[in-house]
Structure 1
C-alpha cells in the first residue's frame, strides 16, 4: 500500500520539472529567434524576444509570426522600428495617466480656490461693515480708533487676497482650457486626422456599456494594409504615408455616428460597428476593400505607378466574447487568417 502512495515531494518535483521545461522552451525560442535571424545579442533584442516568446508582448509575437510566414527574415531595422512604435505607445499611456492626475489636482485646486474666494469675499464684506460701525461711534477714544485703523488694514489686505484668489481662478481656467486642448490633440492621429488607439479604446468602452444596456449589436474589426513594407521600400516613406491617409479616408467614408474608425498604429486600423450584425459589418468593410482594390495609384512625386493597394480585415462580435478586449484579440486573429489566406479579404472571427 505504501508503494502506491504519491509523496508530496514527488508532486512538488513534478511541478518544478514542468516549470523548468517551460522556461527551457522559452530560452530555446529566444535563442533560435536571435540566431536564425542573425540578430545581435543586445539587451534590447533580448527584451523584445522575451516579450514575444514569453507572452508579455503578443502584438510583437503576431507581427514576427506574420513576417516569418511571408518568408522574410526579421532584420534589425524592422525590429527596431516595431519596438520603437510600441515604446511610443507605452509613453503615450504614461502621459495619459499624468494628464489624469493633473486633471484631478486641478479640479481640487479649482474647488478649494473658489471656496477660499467666497470665504474671503464674505469676510471682507463683514469686516468693512464693522469698520463703518466703529467710525460711527461718538467719542470713540484712542483704543476704538486704533481698532478701526486695524480693521481697515485687515479689510484692505482681505481685498488683496480676494484679488489674488480671483487671479488664481482665472489661471486655473486657462490651464483647464490648455489641458482640454492637449487631451484632444493627444487623441488624434496627426497623419490621418482620425482618432488614435487611445481614443478608440475609450469609444469602445462607451459603446459597449450602451449597447449592452440597450441589447444592441456591436462588432469590432481590424484592418491592415497588404504589403505595406514594399510600398515604403520601393517608393519611400512619404508615399507610404499617403497610402495610409488614403486607406484612412476610404474607411472614414463608411463611418457615421454608429460606425467609427481609428488608426491603431503603423499601417493598421481598427473599426467599431454599432447596430449592425457581424455579417453586415463584414459586408460594409468588404465594400470599402473592393472600392480601394479597384484603384490604381501613382506616386505623384516620381510619376511611377504604385499599382493596386489592398487591405485585409478581421471582424468579431463583441458580445460573443468575455469582454471587448477578448473580441479585439479575436478580430486580430481573424485578420491574421485573412493574411494567411492570400490577403485582400475580410474574415469573420
Structure 2
C-alpha cells in the first residue's frame, strides 16, 4: 500500500517474547520509527499540507498501514492525477457523528455530575459526624457537673431527635448518590459497547476488530492453528451513491453486511472497517479455505438483482471484491491487514467481483 502512494513500506520486526507486554511504540526498532517519521514528513511536504494534529494523525494512519482504506483512497486519487488537498483530506478522514449514541461531552458531564454528588454526600457525612461528636462532647461535659435532671433529659431527647433527622437526611443523600453512581456506571457500560459497534449495520466496528485480531494472533502463535484475514470492498460503491442516493447506499451496505455475516460461525469474526469496507477473521481456517467460503458468498450476492425500493429502479449487479492473507505469515497483525488490502487492490485492478490471495498474481473469477 505504501509503495502505491509514493512511500516505501515500513516493515515491523517480529516481537520477542519478553517484549510482548510493551507498548507497540516501544517495540518498534528506532530505525523503523525514523523511517516512519520521514515518510510522514515527506507526505505532508509533498502535498503542501500544514503540520497540524489532524494532518499528522492522517499521515500516520496512511503511512503506517493502520488505515488501509485511507491509504488506498490516497493512492487512487494520485492515480487519477488529482491533488491531495486539505479539504479532501478532511473529508476523507471525517468521523461519522452518529457512530456513538452518546457523545464524549455528554458522558463527561455525567461523570462530573456523579463525582459532584459523591463529593457532596461525603462532605455531608463528615459534617454530620463532626457535629455529632462536638455535641456529644458538650453533653458529656454537662453531665460532669450539677444539672437539672428534667432539663438534661429534655435536652438529650431533642439532641437524639436532631441526630435521627440528620441521619435520615444523610441516608437519603447517600441513596441519591448511589442511584447517580449506578446510572453513571450504566452509561459507561453503554458507551463502551457503543464504541465498538457500527451504528449502521450493528456489526462490530474497526476498533473492536483490531482488539480481536491482536488476541487471535497471539493465541494462534501459541497453538499453531491457522489464522486468515480478509478485506472486502463494495465494487463501484460511489456510483451507487451518486445514482441512487446515500439512503440506498446504506441499504446496500446492510445487505452486504448480512451476506458476509452468513459466513460467520464461532470461528469467524466480521466487522465493518469503515465506509464500504468489511474485514473478516477466519480462526482455524487456512487461507485457501477462507477464500472458498468468501468466494461462495461473492457469487451468491452477484446472482441477486436488487431494486431501489424508493424509485423502483434496479441497482443492477451489486458485487464486492476481496483480499485474503495468512496472518501467521506476517510479523505483525497490521502487516497481515496490509497484505490483505494489497490483495484486494489486485482484485480491483484485475476486474473487480473476485477474491485474491495475498501474493497471488492472478486468479479467474
Identify whether the pair has TM-score above 0.5, normalized to the shorter chain.
Answer: yes
**Matches for 1:86-235 after TM superposition, within 5 Å:** 86-88=93-95, 142=151, 146=155, 149-235=158-244
- TM-score (normalised: structure 1): 0.67
**Higher RCO (CA-CA < 8 Å; seq separation 6+):** 2
Take 1:325 and 1:107, find their aligned partners in 2: how far apart are those partners? Answer: 39
Question: Which aligned runs of 4 or more in structure 1 are off by greater than 6 angstroms?
Answer: 21-25, 41-44, 89-93, 95-110
**Matches for 1:252-263 after TM superposition, within 5 Å:** 252-263=261-272
Aligned length: 303
Q: Is the 8 A contact 1:259 1:271 kept in 2?
A: yes
Q: Is the 8 A contact 1:29 1:53 kept in 2?
A: no
Take 2:298 and 2:343, find their aligned partners in 1: how far apart are those partners? Answer: 16
Please list the CA deviations of residues 116-150 of structure 1 after superposition, one character each: whole Å capped at 9, or x if unmatched.
7xx99xx8xx99xx9xxx9xx9x957557645643
Q: Establish whether residue 65 from structure 1 lines up as the match of residue 82 from structure 2.
A: no
Take 2:167 and 2:45, find their aligned partners in 1: how far apart are those partners? Answer: 73
Structure 2: 5+ residue stretches without partners: 1-37, 359-365
Q: Establish whether residue 51 from structure 1 lines up as the match of residue 59 from structure 2.
A: yes
Residues 1:204 and 1:99: Cα distance change in structure 2 (over 3 Å) = farther
Please list the CA deviations of residues 244-301 of structure 1 after superposition, one character each: whole Å capped at 9, or x if unmatched.
1221111011112221211111111111111212222122111111211222333333
Q: Is the 8 A contact 1:316 1:348 kept in 2?
A: yes
Aligned-partner SS, 2:203: coil
Map of 1:309 onto structure 2: 318
Please list the CA deviations of residues 91-116 of structure 1 after superposition, one character each: whole Å capped at 9, or x if unmatched.
979x9988998999899999x89x97
Structure 1: 5+ residue stretches without partners: 1-20, 32-40
Take 2:250 and 2:73, find their aligned partners in 1: how far apart are those partners? Answer: 20
Please list the CA deviations of residues 20-61 of structure 1 after superposition, one character each: whole Å capped at 9, or x if unmatched.
x98996577426xxxxxxxxx9999x959x939993776433
